[in-house]
Amino acid sequence: MINYLIQDPPKNDTPWADVPAPEIDYWGQLPVQAGNFDHVDGLFYFTYAVCIVFFVIITGVLLYSVVAHRRKTWDQKPLSNVTHNTPLEVVWTVIPLIIVMIMFAWGFKGSLDMLTVPHAAQQNTYKATAKQWFWTFTYPNSTQSISEVYVEIDKPVQFILESTDVLHAFYAPSMRVKRDIVPGRYSSVWFTPTKKGTFHLFCAEYCGNNHSRMYAKLHVVDSATMEEEPWNVVPAADDPLEDRIAYGAQLAGQVCASCHKISATTMMDTGPSWLNLFTKDGDNYVGRKREVIEDGVTKTITVDDAYIIESIKNPTQKIVAEEPYRGRNMSKFDNLDDARIACLIAYMKSLADN
């Protein structure tokens, strides 16, 4: 059998593999709390305890009644025929009512705390952009990182959430926050990280094929580490070519590989293969000829950096005319900055096979 996947960019099936599983709390039910929203745990355990207590009481009474009041001979008549018992009915209405009102008040207070963004968090606002199937984070100073994000310990932080395609959800279990992200609408979450370490950040709303891989690392670090901007390490034009290619390959694996294969393409691949988009002529790279449709007109162009940049930022401008790609859509990646795009281009060129 032909292995079509043989040369494709590294597609990481378990991006969380190098993040240790979170420690479990004392009761063994929740990941250890690393944020400020401790009411979540209290309410969770209260509800849990109520469920267990009532399960035991109800099942106990039921089992007791089944055994103690069973029919002992086939022709036994009912011994009593109770239709109602007012004190009992009042008790089983009022006690549960009080309990659910406690749950409501507790949850409502907590939800108000989560919705009221403190001033300090507003001044430390990040943007989290969800796109099939990765996260892009934009820091208060406009730098970016992909599939991982750094926040400072004990400093309230707010994330403005946006989706450029379908429904997603921002879910950081250790911070006890989760919020749906609806396309065309901003939402937000805030929290104060209280423990250093690396925590999970999942997409918690099924968003297509690679939903399970839509994962980011949430790093909680001290202010000295924040100063160094460890996320802001995209190789620049004067860095060694191998570094740029390696970075481009990694990025392609995270954001492009779900549609673009490098190896021989099949009908199943959404986008055209990147193999031989360029060929090598001495030290120069020559782009291949490509038939594209622009404004309804079919024309032949030569692939070059500008075409690739346009294909990434404004993919509908020139659509590949070849079957089976014509009529398929690539959504735009206008949140990738120039340095990252340059690494992607370096990677594509490195695929020229001579």
Interacting residues toward ligand HEC by CB under 6 A: 255-256, 258-260, 270-272, 277, 290, 308, 311-312, 315, 319-320, 325, 328-330, 333, 344
Q: What would the DSSP string read from start to end of 192-220?
A: ---S-EEEEEEE-S--STTGGG-EEEEEE
Closer CB to ligand HEC, residue 31 or residue 315? 315
Shortest spacing between CB 185 and ligand HEC, in angstroms: 22
Closer CB to Cu ion, residue 47 or residue 212? 212
| Distance from C-alpha of 128 to C-alpha of 146, rounded to nearest angstrom | 10
249 touches 10 (CB < 8 A): yes
| Distance from C-alpha of 133 to C-alpha of 210, rounded to nearest angstrom | 6
Give which of Cu ion, ligand HEC, none residue 168 binds (C-beta under 5 to 8 Å, depending on kind).
Cu ion
Give the contacts of 251 (CB within 8 A, at least 6 positions apart): 146, 340, 343, 344, 347
Give which of Cu ion, ligand HEC, none residue 157 binds (C-beta under 5 to 8 Å, depending on kind).
none
Give which of ligand HEC, Cu ion, none residue 333 binds (C-beta under 5 to 8 Å, depending on kind).
ligand HEC
Shortest spacing between CB 308 and ligand HEC, in angstroms: 4
Pairing mode, strands 125-131 and 157-163: parallel
Shortest spacing between CB 211 and ligand HEC, in angstroms: 14
Closer CB to Cu ion, residue 168 or residue 260? 168
| Distance from C-alpha of 31 to C-alpha of 174, rounded to nearest angstrom | 6
Closer CB to ligand HEC, residue 133 or residue 191? 133
Give which of Cu ion, ligand HEC, none residue 287 binds (C-beta under 5 to 8 Å, depending on kind).
none
Distance from CA of residue 303 to its chain's centroid?
A: 33
Shortest spacing between CB 110 and ligand HEC, in angstroms: 38
Closer CB to Cu ion, residue 135 or residue 190? 135
Closer CB to Cu ion, residue 210 or residue 270? 210
Q: What are the start-end ranges of the H helices in 69-170?
A: 86-115, 119-122
Shortest spacing between CB 129 and Cu ion, in angstroms: 11
128 touches 135 (CB < 8 A): yes
| Distance from C-alpha of 174 to C-alpha of 64, rounded to nearest angstrom | 42
Query: How far, in Å, are 118, 133, 223 from residue 34 at the CA level?
Result: 18, 26, 17
Give which of ligand HEC, Cu ion, none residue 256 binds (C-beta under 5 to 8 Å, depending on kind).
ligand HEC
Closer CB to ligand HEC, residue 133 or residue 170? 133
Give which of ligand HEC, Cu ion, none residue 262 binds (C-beta under 5 to 8 Å, depending on kind).
none
| Secondary structure (3-state) at 22 | coil
- Could you give phi then psi for residue 236, rounded to 5 degrees? -95, 175
Q: What angle do CA 180, 183, 189 make, to 5 degrees?
A: 35
Shortest spacing between CB 13 and Cu ion, in angstroms: 16
Give which of ligand HEC, Cu ion, none residue 311 binds (C-beta under 5 to 8 Å, depending on kind).
ligand HEC
Shortest spacing between CB 286 and ligand HEC, in angstroms: 14
- End-to-end Cα spacing for the chain: 26
| Distance from C-alpha of 203 to C-alpha of 209, rounded to nearest angstrom | 13
Shortest spacing between CB 170 and Cu ion, in angstroms: 9
Closer CB to ligand HEC, residue 245 or residue 319? 319
Give which of Cu ion, ligand HEC, none residue 207 binds (C-beta under 5 to 8 Å, depending on kind).
Cu ion
Sites of contact with Cu ion (CB under 5 A): 168, 203, 207, 214
